[in-house]
Amino acid sequence: MDDAIRSGNMVLGHEGLELGRIHARSNNRKVLAYWLGFLKGILASEKIETSEFEPLRVEAENFLRLLHDPDAHELIEDLLIWKNEPNEIFDIIENIVVMRSRDFIIESEKDEINELYGFCAGIACDNRITPGEVERLLQKLGDYSRIQEDRRVLNLRDAARRSIADGRITPEESDDICAWITHLVGDSATDTGIATLGNVGVLKGALADHNEIVFDRRMFVLTGKFTLGPRKAVQRMISDRGGEFKNNVCRNTHYLCVAAEASRDWRLSHEGLKIFRAIELRNEGLGPHLVHEATLAHALSR
């Protein structure tokens, strides 16, 4: 699942209503897997810190907005009622996870990845990693079937193993693990004030200098939900400067431009097939340059 699909002779547009209906079940499972993973990450240290209350509220509000979930609504109210009782909040979250996990069974690799991403966001939501969280993370990664295919996850696993070798986690080791998690799910709600679900992970090797972007006769591919404007408007800005664009990443793609916000219809919570394909090609030494939306915006303003 990615930004658009073809139905007969018609291409269904990015974020469109019809595409949303087609992907409704898959999108709902994506959000629910991520949300349950996040709550499991919150529970991983076996206690709740008051510093986790705010990111927990932000994620709950986002989940409520996406799925109109009554458990999320009650949790938001409970965070106010029990704001000085972290043990009560822990028990409430534990009950939610137990009850919802009975209905939501991991059915596919997509479910597994989305739950893992949520779990990572949960343990890092207060920008501090505990030994208990590292141990639970390593257990989860040990069962993660795609670990050899994703360099970011391998790096996260290696950082976690190094940090726990002596049985304690230093502030520097905690920061290192959090940094690798941002490659998967972006910055935590503590950093940004916005939910991690809908964020885009930090793309390793992305161009940092907008002056390196050349438009004339270069091939661009766009993915995600751009704050610059609708997808067609961004394509027009690029074509006005001599650039060309395609819908899919291939060997002759020069730039994959990734929006600041994840697409509703991406296959996974933080990336779609275009990003996966670009990373694969880059690992082969053939891939396009990766460009975050902010860098593209600077280049377009020249």
Domains, the chain: 22-192 (no CATH), 210-300 (3.40.50.10190)
C-alpha gyration radius of the chain: 20
Beta carbons of 249 and 277 less than 8 angstroms apart? yes
What percentage of the chain has pLDDT greater than the value 70? 92
3-state SS, residue 60: helix
- Which residues, at least 6 apart from 271, have a Cβ–Cβ distance to it below 8 Å? 200, 201, 262
The per-residue pLDDT for 17 is 60
Angle between helices 53-67 and 70-81 (to 10 degrees): 150
3-state SS, residue 285: coil
The per-residue pLDDT for 192 is 80
Beta carbons of 77 and 64 less than 8 angstroms apart? no
The per-residue pLDDT for 195 is 82
273 token code pair: 């097939």
The per-residue pLDDT for 32 is 95
Residue with tokens 């000085």: 84
Beta carbons of 23 and 110 less than 8 angstroms apart? no
Lowest mean pLDDT among 35-49, 105-119, 190-204, 238-252: 190-204
State mean pLDDT over 15-41.
81
- Which residues, at least 6 apart from 7, have a Cβ–Cβ distance to it below 8 Å? 18, 22
Q: Is the pLDDT of residue 148 over 80?
A: no
State mean pLDDT over 196-202.
84
Q: Is the pLDDT of residue 263 over 60?
A: yes
Beta carbons of 2 and 274 less than 8 angstroms apart? yes
Q: Is the pLDDT of residue 149 over 80?
A: no
Confidence of residue 228 (pLDDT cuts 50, 70, 90): very high
- Which residues, at least 6 apart from 266, have a Cβ–Cβ distance to it below 8 Å? 1, 2, 3, 223, 224, 272
The per-residue pLDDT for 3 is 53
State mean pLDDT over 45-53.
92
Confidence of residue 144 (pLDDT cuts 50, 70, 90): confident
Alpha-carbon distance of 60 to 111, in angstroms, equals 19
Residue with tokens 């501090």: 128
Beta strands 255-258 and 219-223, pairing class: parallel
The per-residue pLDDT for 22 is 59
Write down the mean pLDDT value for the chain: 89
The per-residue pLDDT for 239 is 96
Alpha-carbon distance of 300 to 295, in angstroms, equals 9
The per-residue pLDDT for 19 is 55
Query: If 0-12 CB within 10 Å is exposed, 13-18 middle and 19+ buried, where does residue 221 land?
Result: buried
Beta carbons of 161 and 131 less than 8 angstroms apart? no
State mean pLDDT over 151-178.
93
Residue with tokens 């990664």: 141
Residue with tokens 């505990």: 130
The per-residue pLDDT for 7 is 46
Confidence of residue 10 (pLDDT cuts 50, 70, 90): very low
Confidence of residue 266 (pLDDT cuts 50, 70, 90): confident
